[in-house]
Amino acid sequence: MSLKVYINGQLLDKENAKISVYDHGLLYGDGVFEGMRSYGGKVFRLKQHLDRLWNSAKTIWLEIPMSRDDMAKAVNDTLAANQIKDGYIRLVVTRGAGTLGLDPNRCSHPQVIIITDKIELYPEDFYRNGLEIITASTMRNHPAALNPRIKSLNYLNNILAKIEGLKAGCIEALMLNQKGEVAEATGDNIFLVRGGVLQTPPLDAGILEGITRDAVIELARGAGIEVREMPLTRHDVYIADECFLTGSAAEVIPVVKIDNRAIGDGKPGPITRDLIARFRKLTRE
């Protein structure tokens, strides 16, 4: 069965799902997106994802041409049409087709695209044994230039850091902000454990406010684990007892080595393993 892709109210075969080469999403990265997961046919935290999408769109003066309720229905209908229970959803809103100039007022109307598919970001082995990552030299976007809380279609900043990681033999890389503080990985938020306390960079460190990040903070606090959102440096990462990343696609994944330094004893720690189990219970049940 060919996968169906939603474009502006129509479900089209994957092969026929096309938008204009003049779309400013392609020409200039002018648009916003969300990556979501579904478990048992239900989208995890759909409302929070749509809230973030609308906030991103509002910040870049992009009018989404449908209501949140209609968008939620379109997402669920696309999942159902593809008979996907446990999958990944990519929701994209572009500025629409325009001229070769930058002027967004010359774009016809925004394009709403919903892609649903299977995803396996990391092999199960990495969840058991942990990832090795490096610190990228590519800095996170300066918040005064482009606010990292906007989930825009221009991901070149993250892609360049990802390439650095891949060239070093790692599938993820840590990014620092303009102050040299820890921000996030190329596609995930970062958490440390030190002395039983969970630490993670605050929103003003130049990070995307992750939906999975927020869920993990809630789970940790519910389990009686102290959580501190605080500025962190590479030194804090190197001396941490545990480290893990969170993201919609990655869920919760341990990091056991960074910049050739073992984190803790070089194995996923007890708090990390506990939060992986709690997150899986939350999403699967």
Cα separation, 200 vs 216, whole angstroms = 11
Cα separation, 51 vs 41, whole angstroms = 20
* Strand, coil or helix: 6: strand
- The active-site residue out of 151, 179, 257, 267 is 151
Residue at 128: amino acid letter: R
Is 151 one of the catalytic residues?
A: yes
Q: Residue 77: beta bridge partners?
A: none
29 φψ region: left (φ > 0), alpha (ψ -120 to 50), beta (else): left
* Helix spans in the chain (H): 24-28, 46-59, 68-81, 124-129, 156-167, 211-222, 234-238, 270-284
| Backbone phi and psi for residue 67, each to the nearest 5 degrees, phi listed first | -85, 165
* Strand, coil or helix: 245: strand
Question: For residue 244, which of 213, 282, 284 has the smallest C-alpha distance?
Answer: 213
As annotated, the active-site residues are: 151
